[in-house]
């Protein structure tokens, strides 16, 4: 449950906090504050600081853990509190340990072109800090990675893995430069820092334009040469 809570309380790298940044001096490595508008700052992920997450190890019997992030200045602040046994308690929670309602494979993010482009612009040390904040034991410990098949709505242009018209046998199928430059390197970085297995799944966005009736990878379209026409939606 503790590890699940750690994954569930996933925060974006940039979290809004109070303008005064009263918590900055309390961190092991002080954040680099940036004012985005009156009353709000963000902590910039750089070569010396990126958000981390405190340990969510199981606590002793009779206690519970609370993680709090607030506009007033708390950032994933960890508190271990005792379970009150006061007679004034009016709410009772019953936990049915043997009753399963759903299965959770994990929590994670996507390795898109846009993510890779922006990460690649950072200095090497900042890239490491950023990947660690998501996938290492000091960060959120993501266990899922979604990888778009070819381009998606987070790409700078539309491309597929076979842009040769008429190649229904996919003899010209190949990965794109974007995969080798913006996706695969950061997937490897995540694998190098994680202490947990990561599940990756590929998500299709659109068939190649030449396979579609309107020759367009975006918008509503239909696949060609099918016994039954299938509607296909692009970005």
Reported as a pLDDT band with limits 50, 70 and 90, residue 16 is very low
What is the rounded average pLDDT of the residues 176-193? 96
Q: What residues have CB less than 8 Å from 168, skipping those under 6 apart? A: 225
- Note the pLDDT of residue 23: 44
pLDDT in tens, 137-180: 988 899 999 999 999 999 999 999 999 998 988 999 999 999 99
Query: What is the rounded average pLDDT for all residues in the chain?
Result: 79
Q: What is the pLDDT of residue 97?
A: 84
pLDDT at 189 over 50: yes
For the cut 80, the answer to whether the pLDDT of residue 14 exceeds it is: no
Collapsed DSSP state (helix, strand, coil) of residue 110: strand
pTM of the model: 0.72
Q: What is the pLDDT of residues 101-110, one digit of tens each?
A: 888 899 999 9
- pLDDT at 124 (0 to 100): 94
**pLDDT at residue 173, as a whole number:** 95
Q: What is the pLDDT of residue 89?
A: 63
How high is the pLDDT of residue 77?
78
pLDDT at residue 162, as a whole number:
95
C-beta pairs of 76-83 under 8 Å, 24+ apart in sequence: 76/9, 76/11, 76/51, 76/52, 77/23, 78/54
Q: How many CA atoms lie within 13 A of 187 on its CB side?
A: 21
The pLDDT tens digits of the residues spanning 77-116 come to 788 988 876 656 677 778 888 888 888 899 999 999 999 9
Confidence of residue 11 (pLDDT cuts 50, 70, 90): very low
In a 13 Å sphere around the CA of 56, the CA atoms on its Cβ side amount to 22
Which of 52, 41, 35 has the alpha carbon at shortest distance from 17? Answer: 41
Of 25-29, 34-38, 57-61, 161-165, the least confident: 25-29
């Amino acid at each position: 449950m503790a590890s699940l809570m750690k994954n569930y309380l996933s925060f974006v790298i940039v979290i809004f906090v109070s303008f005064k940044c009263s918590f900055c001096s309390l961190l092991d490595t002080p954040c680099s504050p940036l004012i985005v508008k009156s009353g709000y700052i963000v902590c910039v992920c750089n070569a010396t600081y990126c958000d981390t997450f405190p340990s969510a190890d199981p606590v002793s019997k009779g206690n519970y853990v609370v993680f709090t992030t607030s506009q007033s200045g708390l950032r994933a602040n960890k508190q271990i509190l005792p379970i009150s046994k006061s007679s004034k308690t009016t709410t009772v929670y019953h936990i049915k340990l043997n009753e399963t309602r759903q299965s959770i494979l994990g929590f994670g993010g996507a390795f898109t072109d846009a993510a890779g482009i922006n990460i690649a612009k950072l200095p090497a040390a900042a890239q490491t800090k950023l990947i660690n904040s998501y996938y290492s034991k000091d960060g959120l410990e993501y266990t899922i990675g979604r990888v778009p098949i070819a381009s998606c709505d987070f790409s700078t242009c539309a491309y597929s893995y076979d842009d040769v018209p008429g190649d229904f046998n996919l003899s010209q199928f190949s990965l794109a430069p974007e995969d080798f430059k913006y996706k695969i390197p950061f997937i490897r970085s995540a694998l190098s820092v994680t202490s947990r297995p990561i599940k990756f799944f590929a998500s299709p966005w659109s068939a190649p334009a030449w396979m579609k009736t309107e020759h367009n990878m975006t918008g509503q379209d239909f696949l060609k040469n099918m016994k039954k026409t299938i509607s296909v939606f692009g970005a």
